[in-house]
Amino acid sequence: MIELRTPTQIEQMRPAGRFVASVISALSEKAAVGVNLLELDELAHRMIKDAGATSCYIDYHPSFGAMPFGKVLCTSVNDAVLHGLPYDYMLQDGDLLSVDFAASVDGWVSDSALSVVVGNADPKDLQLIDTAQRALDAGIAAARSGNRLGDISFAIGSVAHEAGLKVNLQFGGHGVGRTMHGDPHVPNDGQAGRGLKLRPGLVIAIEPWFLHTTDEIRFDPDGWTIRSADGSRGAHVEHTVAITDGDAIVLTSRD
């Protein structure tokens, strides 16, 4: 079911957005060569506790997960691009790391992700991250009342295709509110002018994710970590945004 939030409710969602943004920023600063993925998860865990927030991940167990997630943060490295389950791994020079984090504050959820390269970066990885970020920006720009959901998807997909990338449609953006995942699904490619009409009060996570050379994926045995089928690297970025009568409000802005 698609729910529209009142202006008052959107204001009530701002603390969750600011908190999630602060955690994402802290994680990006902490990520460095020699840092263990479990250290990043522990940092997010401490910040949740200190803020009196609630993790959206630790008990999360959808049908595709082999077990409850058990961590508070997704850490996807190199050919892993989504839902990476943190494990005992120390980041290496040149690793492409994507972190995805969602939490609830006072009953409202926000969700955000970013990708960084630790140490010396391959220019191709930086270009992939830049493409994902430009696609996110384009999707947010299209998230306006009166447009259609397909306009967001088309804007994202157009940036990807211009960069020569293929787009996987199995996972994408989603509604956000009292829970982390709700309607509508927001694909990362689509046809302009099609789909749900966007109205003020709709709150969605827009999250482009792309792989260097494929749109095919595979799951790790943990049932969570999603990797490229051909071993190529991936980048993932995400913001929670609220549709208004004008420009969308980026609730998870890190500015």
Consecutive sets of 10 residues in the chain, 255 residues long: mean pLDDT of each?
96 98 98 98 98 95 81 98 97 98 98 98 98 98 98 98 97 97 97 98 98 97 94 98 97 95
* Total tally of structural domains belonging to the chain: 1
Cβ-count burial of 245 within 10 angstroms (0-12 exposed, 13-18 middle, 19+ buried)? exposed
Whole-number pLDDT of residue 131: 98
Instruction: Give the pLDDT of residue 62.
Output: 77
Residues 138-157, buried b or exposed e (16+ Cβ, 10 A)? bbbebbbeebbbbbbbbbbb
In a domain, 1, yes or no: no
- The answer to whether the annotation marks 222 as part of a ligand binding site is no
Is 88 annotated among the ligand-binding residues? no
Q: Is residue 144 part of a domain?
A: yes
Q: What share of the chain is helix, strand, coil (3-state, %, to 5)?
A: 30, 25, 45
207 annotated to a ligand binding site:
yes
Whether 236 contacts 113, CB under 8 Å: yes
Alpha-helix runs per DSSP H in the chain: 7-30, 37-51, 123-142, 149-162
User: Which tokens is 96 given?
Assistant: 């492409």
The pTM for the full model equals 0.96
- Is 92 a member of any domain? yes
pLDDT of residue 87: 96
**CATH (domain of 223):** 3.90.230.10
238 is in an annotated binding site: yes
pLDDT at 215: 97
Annotation-wise, does 29 bind a ligand?
no
CA distance 220 to 89: 15
**Predicted local confidence at residue 255, as pLDDT:** 83
* Cα→Cα distances 93→126, 211, 230, Å: 14, 20, 21
Query: Is 189 among the annotated ligand-binding positions?
Result: no
pLDDT score of 61: 85
Q: Is residue 220 part of a domain?
A: yes
- Report yes or no on 74 lying in a domain: yes
Residues forming beta bridges with residue 108, ordered by sequence position:
105
Find out whether 212 is annotated in a ligand binding site.
Answer: no
φ/ψ of 151, rounded to 5, equals: -65, -40
Q: With respect to residue 201, please indicate whether it lies within any of the assigned structural domains.
A: yes
DSSP strand pairing (74-77 vs 96-105): antiparallel
Residue 255 resides in a domain: no
> Does any domain span residue 192?
yes
Domain membership of residue 178 as a residue range: 7-250
Q: What is the 3-state secondary structure (H, E, C) of 160-192?
A: HHHCCCCCCCCCCEEECCCCCCEEEEECCCCCC
